[in-house]
Amino acid sequence: MKNMRKLSIFLSALFLFGCAKADLSQEEATRLIEKDNAYPRVATEIIFCGDVVQAKRILDLGLENEGLVNIIKTKQASQIAAPWVSFTEKAKPYLMATPDEDLKYQRQHVRIGDMKFKGIIGVTTTEDGRTAKVVYNIVYSNLSPFAKIFKVDYKKPVKMTAYFANDGAKWRLLKKIDDARSKF
């Protein structure tokens, strides 16, 4: 009987400590965020070559004068399907592999710069220890001339949010949401 009581106390303690809340550490969050997002990595954006508004913005920013693009200012009837923006030889180092579907709709992926994980701002774990929210920063470096097309201040850190779940054995990244940024 005494052994049963000891076994019962041992099992109760094991259950209580085994189910204790395990907060997500900054080190674990950093490891999972960097792995899932493959930081550091190349940052890209899409230029809509068939969009006259974006073509005008690119023209106004001087990318044609820099020799990176050619802009059609007015179209003739025979050019109706032609993109407003085309890229020069000088732009080739910044052009990224673009899926055929995007090319079909006159979209071109361009290199903006390098994106790196900067650090954790804060980790908030729910009271039950099953989910956590992590706010962190990323920074951009080695910006390309195409970065100025987008209305993002790539010189400032960008605040990001990631959500995690704990399945009892380990933490896993659920999804990531970047804070609202206007690109155009």
Instruction: State residue 21's pLDDT score.
Output: 53
User: Does pLDDT of 9 surpass 50?
Assistant: no
How far apart, in Å, do the first and last CA atoms of the chain sit?
Answer: 75
**Domain boundaries, given as residue ranges, for the chain:** 22-178
Cβ partners under 8 Å of residue 21, min gap 6: 125, 127, 128, 129
- Taking the C-alpha atoms of residue 65 and residue 60, their distance in angstroms, rounded to an integer, is 10
Longest dimension (CA), the chain: 97
User: Does pLDDT of 17 surpass 70?
Assistant: no
- Taking the C-alpha atoms of residue 94 and residue 144, their distance in angstroms, rounded to an integer, is 7
Query: For residue 29, which of 126, 120, 125 has the smallest C-alpha distance?
Result: 120
Distance, CA of 131 to chain centre: 21
The overall average pLDDT reported for the chain is: 85
